Amino acid sequence: MGTSNEYRPRYGNWVSSKAVILLFVCFLLLLFGAEWTAAGCRWLSVVMMVSAFLVLIVTMLFLRARTALSYEGGGVQRRVLEGILDQAKAAGWDGKGKMLDIGCGSGALCVMAAKREPKVMVTGVDQWKSHWEYSKAQCEANAQAEGVANRIFFRQEDAAKLPFVDGMFDLVVSNLTFHQIRTQKDKRVLMQEALRTVKPGGIFVIQDTFYNKRLYGDTEAFLQALAPYVSEIHLVDNRKMEDIPKYLHLPFFLGQMGMIWGRVKA
């Protein structure tokens, strides 16, 4: 029988609680400012009141998104990660060998893969920046709680310079990580580094904000730049995924998301 202090997996949320708190604090400050300036500067008070109202709307939107994404709420995060593994299987991955998850965060995708595929060995790497509220210890605790700790290894590494030999992994995956990496601004080079670790004939499934032109430029040109390294490559438009709330289609949530998958040259 379980006990009340039994550890339950904590996979976090892509909408940070710190972001929601910061928005709410901004709302309160603007509201207070509107009241404080009402007597001395009417027009400034009105501007601050309107601004407070707008910030409150954004705060409520972020709260709704956080609930929809959470594992305890709408479960959108789970469905997004399942889509990566489903695509890997559709591409021909047999669920065996070695898998690398670049930017593993809370370890959710690593754990999901290990639970679905009993013959896979998983490595998860991340820098675990503090503002994302994730850690290596959290990943290890989640894997232990899910009963797959013996097949998952977590390492603190930089995705721009992975410490693995060429062709080490049968499958390389990543979810919403590359756009956050600051140590390599050229995303083509970052993708090439990921592809370097895939074995000849192996599969990769990388999901990120590929429709953010500021970071990735023209998507067709981006794919062409990777063509010399792969035998096939495809881009899936996930900006408006089915069965998720429409407000998550906004650019600052999932509205720029795409999935690049394929095979490395044999």
Tell me: the pLDDT tens digits for 140-153?
A: 999 999 999 999 99
156 forms beta bridges with 126
DSSP 139-187: HHHHHHHTT-GGGEEEEE--TTS--S-TT-EEEEEEES-GGG--S---H
Q: What integer pLDDT is reported at residue 132 of this predicted model? A: 74
Report residue 25's pLDDT band, with 50, 70 and 90 as the boundaries.
very high
Q: What is the pLDDT of residues 34-92, one digit of tens each?
A: 999 988 899 999 999 999 999 999 999 999 999 999 999 999 999 999 999 999 999 99
Of the candidates 211, 183, 206, 184, which has an alpha carbon nearest to the alpha carbon of residue 263? Answer: 206
- Both tokens of 158, joined, read 């930089």
CA 79 to chain centre: 12
pLDDT (tens digit, 9 = 90+) per residue, 193-231? 999 999 999 999 999 999 999 999 999 999 999 999 999
- Residue-wise pLDDT for 116-130, tens only, equals 999 999 999 999 987
pLDDT of residue 7: 85
What pLDDT, on a 0 to 100 scale, did the predictor assign at position 5? 60
* b/e map 25-41, b = 16+ CB within 10 Å: ebbeebbebbeebeeee
Please report the pLDDT score of residue 39 as a whole number: 87
The residue ranges of DSSP E strands in the chain, in sequence order, are: 97-102, 120-126, 152-156, 169-175, 198-208, 230-237, 258-264
Least confident range of 6-15, 160-169, 209-218: 6-15
Q: What is the mean pLDDT of the chain?
A: 95
What's the confidence (pLDDT) of residue 1?
Answer: 40
The pair of structure tokens assigned to 192 is 């090439």
Mean pLDDT confidence for 183-194? 96
3-state secondary structure of 70: coil
Residue 182 has pLDDT above 70, yes or no: yes
Instruction: Tell whether the model's pLDDT for residue 4 goes beyond 50.
Output: no
Cα separation, 211 vs 95, whole angstroms = 29
